[in-house]
């Protein structure tokens, strides 16, 4: 998953906030999307709008977009966890690598534990 500072598909790539200001649009925001082989072209999970005010500069607008990102990303994670949106398959992806939650749960797919991973439920 990736967070991008525009309402994709508008203003993909670098300097999205500057692109929005230069284009003179009245509304921008942020997009949480799945990553794919393209540049900011993955399936959209969530978007939050941020109005552009007269006199906005890149720094101030970026700060407001970041505040929206802090709301959008957890909302997107909840949608994925609840199964409301599924990640598209990744061509050529290997099978599960045995990753597991840090709460000490057994490994996924019977894979051996990951060396150095905490087993006491604590993050390091």
Catalytic (active-site) positions: 4
Cross-strand bridge partners of residue 49: 29
Reported as type and span, the H/E element at residue 48 is strand 44-51
In the DSSP assignment, the letter for residue 33 is: E
Q: Which residues of 42-72 are buried (b: 16+ CB within 10 A; e: fewer)?
A: bebbbbbebebeeebeeeebbebbeebbeeb
In the DSSP assignment, the letter for residue 117 is: -
Closest alpha carbon to 11 in 37, 55, 56, 50: 50
């Amino acid at each position: 998953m990736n967070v991008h500072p525009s309402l994709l598909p508008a203003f993909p790539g670098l300097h999205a906030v500057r692109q929005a200001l230069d284009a003179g649009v009245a509304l921008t925001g942020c997009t949480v999307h799945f990553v794919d082989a393209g540049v900011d072209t993955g399936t959209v999970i969530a978007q939050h709008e941020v109005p552009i005010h007269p006199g906005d500069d890149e720094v101030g607008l970026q700060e407001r977009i970041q505040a929206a990102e802090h709301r959008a990303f957890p909302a997107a994670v909840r949608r994925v966890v609840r199964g409301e949106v599924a990640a598209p398959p990744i061509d050529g992806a290997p099978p599960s690598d045995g990753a597991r939650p840090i709460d000490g749960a057994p490994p996924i797919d019977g894979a051996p534990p990951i060396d150095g991973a905490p087993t006491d439920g604590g993050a390091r």
